[in-house]
Chain A
């Protein structure tokens, strides 16, 4: 298995631009998670999906952030408009909920820099 795939790996953009981050979960996993990692705040859960449906988006910082999962093999996290304080590493993770409490597998992350 290729593991969780994220693209792009690095993104540099200017303030005010739209940014779209992409994630392909591990095949067969029915949970997908988006995290943000910064030096100041550590790892924060932004949102997670179960069977393509958003379950908990309480970690999404504000309306500029949105996430979608149109099918079981693809999810996007969009920031519009982007701001310098959004600079962080964004991780996607997936898990199988068969056991009710399974391990999350992380992707390589997207390092976002907003100038």
Chain B
């Protein structure tokens, strides 16, 4: 079965530290990749997405992610985190043999940024 793995379940950083959250997927073939963020008490919001083209994708709030097809990875990065980045981050994938409408989510990574 298709799956999305987020290896870090909890991450604690100080402000200004750099962030990298891992995401790996198990599909073969063409996929679309997403990172969503869920701030405390809020709904999921799209951070960035990759459909095709430049594998380095820039999203909102200074986040970026790089699609490495050979590694089945789509890691999220931010050079300098802020306290307001405290949230849960979800990687998601569609495509492959589940079709392009069905999103499969990873289990999420809780990020806590201390001021």
Chain A residues close to B by CB (< 8 Å):
31, 33, 42-43, 45, 48, 50, 55-56, 91, 93, 95, 97, 100-101, 103-109
The prevalent SS among residues of A at the interface is strand
The docked-state distance in angstroms from the alpha carbon of A42 to that of B107 is 5
A-B contact count (CB 8 A): 42
Chain B residues close to A by CB (< 8 Å):
32, 34, 36, 42-46, 49, 51, 90, 94-95, 100-108
The prevalent SS among residues of B at the interface is strand
Closest CB-CB distance, A24 to chain B, in whole Å?
14
- Jot down 26 A-B pairs with beta carbons below 8 A, ordered by A: A31-B101, A42-B106, A42-B107, A42-B108, A43-B105, A45-B102, A45-B103, A45-B104, A48-B101, A50-B101, A55-B101, A91-B43, A91-B44, A97-B101, A100-B100, A101-B32, A101-B94, A101-B95, A101-B101, A103-B34, A103-B46, A106-B43, A106-B45, A107-B43, A108-B43, A109-B43
